[in-house]
């Protein structure tokens, strides 16, 4: 199918109707700079309060150095976005940048007076300095992803490659010996290298998301087929359950081999949620939840670490666990409870009493010093990113982009929910880290890759629309269809008006040709001599008492004079023609052997020019004028 026809086709449904106008969405450069500046000011105030609390009201130069460094890095990221994705959503970069800066400030605060680090130490020292280096590396990877991924549709070519690579990275720690991949509480989520460790599941997350989006768009029609109806719910066919079974087995394998409840729950939850978004069938949600819970119940008796997590969750204050296995959860709950509504103040709490306060339980640390208000503000920022991701999906014009943006938004929101629910005791602990906040180089780099994908998707959704080919072919925005409908309506109105004028002109005078006003489209039909050719419409009533006749189109003529015996008349004011009226059935338009033109009892069809009708040929015109008593000049026109 040619591109012109593909672009002119109508959208498939209401869910495919894009929200972006043809001219694109505004860039909001000033708003982005304002939000970045506001973020730097907030980080400066927070760092000032922390140093005054930790250093007896004597702030050091780091109060200016650390926020200024973060501000410069955010401005560099802003320049990269304006260069590679200028139409991106103006909310993503400032909010994600502020979250990363907040994590840097608090990781450094939790490292002060620990391992010999003081307030006036260099910003590159300790775990805070390591996190700052991870932030710089994450921005480099962020720029590389934006540079190579010119359009999210380019990822379709590598969907299966990314899918296999994601499965390999997710399963690799479980296949390695515990000396290489061992972690806290018996989990095997890391690959340890000299001096640092990498968590492959963080990178496998968005690779599998890309594969899920491509696969579900390709299989959308098959997975949407309805099967049997049971308990008021339309269930899918049994043969369509294979993808869910494969993902369920993979998630259970991760839970068994790696003892990682969080990653297995996240991957399976992302797939089931995207499956629901594609098919809009609640039955897939019910199947996913039931199968995952059933799998956990089935393997529960055989795995001690899963049993321990459940016992801690059910009774964290049990005397058998409170000073041992459940100590982390209990101290986190006490920390958030002591913070109350407004918190103890930045730097005034005791978050170091909580194990892994700078990674798994950083939300508990924030809750202690910033209170419930500060913690809710952080959650609102997460929610803002998730909402903007879903809005980006709605604005995109291709199904792959829609599902990918929605999957990224859901994955981020689901991860934050699992973290908050684990810290507050709503569900068992999973060991997840808060995106952009928690300590961890893998988490920082992987989540900035996620930010690059969101910014690329938002740029594609907000930029001015242009027809594309192949993978870049997208649905046209609403303005395009509106213009097409207006153009078609104008063309139909012009044709109807022309037909009405023709019918009105010949209604009372069927033997006369009339000159009609030209429309703008008819100007192009003029001949090189400036004349136009027209023909009569078929008569619908008999002429002067004669039976209904069928008239063929008269021969066409080209002349410049007007016969005095046949003056043109204005539309709507008919004039009786002079000359004999046919008294019987006539056959108009038959050529005469003598003159080469039509003849009917001495009456000749008039010839016309662009605006007026001409007379007859020279011989018949003189005879016709004599019969009418007309002495006007003759016509020297010739037949064409």
Q: What is the mean pLDDT of residues 542-546?
A: 44
pLDDT category, 630, cuts 50, 70, 90? very low
The tens digit of pLDDT for each residue in 480-527 reads: 667 778 888 888 888 888 888 777 766 555 554 445 555 555 555 554
Q: What is the mean pLDDT of residues 143-153?
A: 93
Give the Å distances, CA to CA, from 360 to 363, 426, 430: 8, 15, 9
- Average pLDDT of the chain, as a whole number: 76
pLDDT, residue 184, reads: 60
Of 117-121, 187-191, 583-587, which range is least confident? 583-587
pLDDT category, 447, cuts 50, 70, 90? very high
CA distance 147 to 84: 7
Q: What is the mean pLDDT of residues 313-327?
A: 83
Residue 534 has pLDDT above 80, yes or no: no
Q: What does the domain layout of the chain look like in residue ranges?
A: 503-578+586-640
CA distance 17 to 495: 31
Angle at 249 between CA 156 and CA 167, to 5 degrees: 35
The tens digit of pLDDT for each residue in 263-306 reads: 888 888 888 888 888 888 888 888 888 888 888 888 888 777 77
CA distance 384 to 379: 9
Residue 195 has pLDDT above 80, yes or no: no
Specify the higher pLDDT residue, 557 or 482: 482
**b/e string for 364-397 if b means 16 or more Cβ within 10 A?**
bbbbbbbbeebbeebeebbeebbebbbbbbebbb
Q: What is the mean pLDDT of residues 332-349?
A: 90
CA distance 392 to 126: 38
Q: What is the mean pLDDT of residues 70-95?
A: 95
Output the CA torsion 375→380→381→384 (10° steps).
170
Q: How many CB atoms lie within 10 A of CB 298?
A: 10
Q: Which of 255, 244, 233, 229 is nearest to 309 (CA)?
A: 255
Contact between residue 588 and residue 551 where contact means Cβ atoms under 8 Å apart: yes
Residue 397 has pLDDT above 70, yes or no: yes
Query: Count H helices, E strands: the chain?
Result: 19, 8
Specify the higher pLDDT residue, 294 or 240: 294
Any bridge partners for residue 591, and if so which?
598
The tens digit of pLDDT for each residue in 21-45 reads: 666 677 889 999 999 999 999 999 9
Q: What is the mean pLDDT of residues 168-188?
A: 76
pLDDT, residue 58, reads: 86
Give the Å distances, CA to CA, from 59 to 24, 56, 64, 367: 47, 8, 10, 24
Backbone angles phi, psi at 244, to 5 degrees: -65, -40
pLDDT category, 634, cuts 50, 70, 90? very low
CA distance 368 to 376: 12
Of 511-520, 523-532, 570-579, which range is least confident? 570-579
């Amino acid at each position: 199918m040619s591109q012109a026809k593909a672009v002119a086709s109508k959208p498939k449904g209401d869910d495919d109707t894009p929200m972006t106008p043809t001219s694109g969405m505004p860039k909001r450069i000033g708003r982005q700079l304002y939000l970045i500046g506001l973020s730097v000011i907030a980080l400066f105030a927070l760092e000032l309060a922390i140093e005054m609390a930790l250093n007896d009201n004597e702030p050091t130069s780091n109060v200016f150095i650390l926020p200024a460094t973060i501000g410069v890095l955010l401005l560099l990221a802003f320049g990269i976005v304006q260069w590679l994705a200028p139409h991106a959503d103006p909310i993503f970069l400032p909010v994600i940048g502020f979250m990363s800066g907040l994590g840097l400030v608090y990781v450094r605060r939790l490292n002060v007076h620990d391992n010999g680090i003081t307030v006036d130490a260099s910003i590159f020292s300790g775990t805070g300095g390591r996190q700052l280096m991870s932030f710089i590396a994450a921005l480099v990877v962020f720029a590389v992803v934006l540079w190579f991924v010119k359009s999210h549709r380019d990822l379709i070519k590598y969907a299966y490659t990314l899918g296999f690579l994601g499965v390999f990275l997710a399963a690799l720690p479980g296949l390695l010996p515990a000396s290489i991949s061992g972690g806290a509480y018996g989990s095997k989520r890391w690959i340890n290298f000299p001096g640092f460790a990498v968590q492959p599941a963080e990178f496998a997350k968005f690779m599998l998301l890309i594969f899920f989006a491509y696969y579900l768009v390709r299989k959308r029609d098959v997975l949407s087929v309805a099967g049997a109806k049971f308990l008021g719910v339309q269930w899918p066919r049994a043969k369509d359950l294979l993808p869910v079974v494969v993902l369920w087995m993979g998630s259970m394998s991760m839970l068994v081999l790696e003892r990682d409840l969080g990653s297995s729950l996240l991957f399976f939850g992302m797939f089931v949620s995207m499956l629901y978004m594609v098919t809009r069938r609640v039955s897939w949600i019910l199947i996913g939840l039931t199968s995952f819970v059933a799998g956990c119940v089935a393997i529960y008796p055989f795995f001690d670490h899963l049993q321990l997590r459940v016992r801690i969750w059910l009774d964290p204050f049990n005397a058998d666990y409170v000073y041992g296995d459940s100590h982390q959860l209990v101290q986190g709950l006490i920390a958030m409870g002591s913070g109350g509504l407004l918190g103890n103040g930045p730097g005034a709490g005791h978050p170091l009493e909580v194990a892994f306060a700078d990674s798994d339980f950083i939300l508990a640390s924030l809750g202690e010093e910033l209170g419930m208000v500060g913690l809710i503000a952080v959650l609102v920022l997460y929610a803002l990113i998730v909402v903007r991701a879903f809005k980006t999906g709605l604005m995109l014009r291709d199904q792959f982009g829609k599902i990918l943006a929605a999957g990224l938004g859901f994955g981020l929101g689901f991860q934050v929910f699992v973290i908050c629910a684990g810290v507050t005791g709503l569900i068992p602990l999973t060991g997840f880290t808060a995106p952009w906040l928690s300590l961890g180089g893998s988490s920082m780099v992987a989540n900035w890759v996620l930010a690059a994908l969101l910014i690329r998707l938002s740029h594609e959704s907000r930029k001015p629309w242009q027809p594309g080919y192949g993978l870049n072919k997208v649905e046209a925005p609403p303005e395009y269809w509106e213009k097409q409908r207006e153009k078609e309506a104008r063309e139909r109105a012009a044709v109807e008006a022309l037909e009405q004028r023709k019918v009105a002109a010949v209604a009372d005078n069927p033997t006369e040709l009339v000159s009609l006003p030209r429309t703008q489209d008819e100007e192009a039909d003029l001949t090189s001599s400036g004349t136009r050719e027209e023909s009569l419409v078929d008569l619908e009533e008999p002429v002067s008492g004669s039976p209904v006749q069928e008239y063929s189109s008269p021969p066409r003529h080209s002349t410049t004079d007007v016969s005095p015996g046949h003056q043109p008349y204005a539309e709507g004011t008919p004039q009786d023609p002079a000359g004999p009226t046919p008294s019987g059935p006539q056959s108009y338009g038959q050529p005469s052997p003598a003159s080469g033109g039509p003849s009917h009892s001495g009456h000749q069809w008039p010839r016309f020019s662009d605006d007026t009708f001409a007379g007859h040929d020279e011989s018949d015109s003189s005879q016709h004028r004599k019969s009418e008593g007309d002495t006007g000049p003759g016509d020297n026109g010739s037949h064409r």
